[in-house]
Structure 1
């Protein structure tokens, strides 16, 4: 059913991964130029891949186990994206490339939080269905 709470959580994750990356900069370089996700193809692909997994997961409501697995894969993808951001921000000493970090670097964390909440709700639904099946 689409009217479950996990749908709301997954929609918020889609908005974080696909919509807000164009509004918030990832960082500002030493020249004062803001760098967005669309400036780096790999970062853009990972953000859009995360959004696609969340969107696919919304419509997998009939197969809760697959929906749960897609949520876990999406969490792993966002952790990898967060690791890339940490690596890029710490690899160069001083003010060579990344001068000031933007709010776009924390978008994977927000997405992870909502994906964990969605997986928790999916697991709760699965446990409810199993308990009802035992009664029959």
Structure 2
């Protein structure tokens, strides 16, 4: 039985890193509220258009980057854009958590604020692996 070449690209370490980064951001939207107040009520709603748009764009960039496994330079650029998007998302979370009204109640920051950082780490690792692959291909081309 012959399988398409794309299925075998899951064995590349950068693809695994990108999938983990995508799952972190997906988990951010699905399971974890980003900021809760003392009563456990989500202060930053998941339905906010800005947060939803940033999360959706980050997941979409990760999927597109995974699917363009034959174009390493494009993957590298898409991952860089995704890193910038995750920094913007992190900035939105930090800004919103610092400007909450009624700070007499101690606001509890959930794991949702950390997930963009984890995603950034995995995207950086993916870019390092892509760079290593690109350097390997260039060194083989020099030997020809």
Q: TM-score w.r.t. structure 2 length?
A: 0.85
Q: Which residue is equivalent to 2:37?
A: 29
Q: Which residue is equivalent to 2:19?
A: 11
1:28-86 alpha-carbon deviations (Å, 9 max, x no partner): 13553124662312111111110110111011111100000000000000011111111
For the aligned residues, what is the CA RMSD? 2.1
Q: TM-score w.r.t. structure 1 length?
A: 0.90
Structure 2 Cα separation of the partners of residues 114 and 68 of structure 1: 13
Residue 49 of structure 2, aligned match among 37, 41, 45: 41
Q: Which residue is equivalent to 1:78?
A: 86
- Equivalenced residues, count: 136
Structure whose alpha-carbon radius of gyration is higher: 2
CA gap of 1:108–1:67, structure 2 versus 1, over 3 A, is same
* Structure 2 residues not aligned, in runs of 5+: 1-7
Q: Which residue is equivalent to 1:125?
A: 133
In structure 2, the residue corresponding to 1:132 is in which secondary structure?
Answer: helix
Q: After superposition, where does 1:82-121 map in structure 2 within 5 Å?
A: 82-92=90-100, 95=103, 99-121=107-129
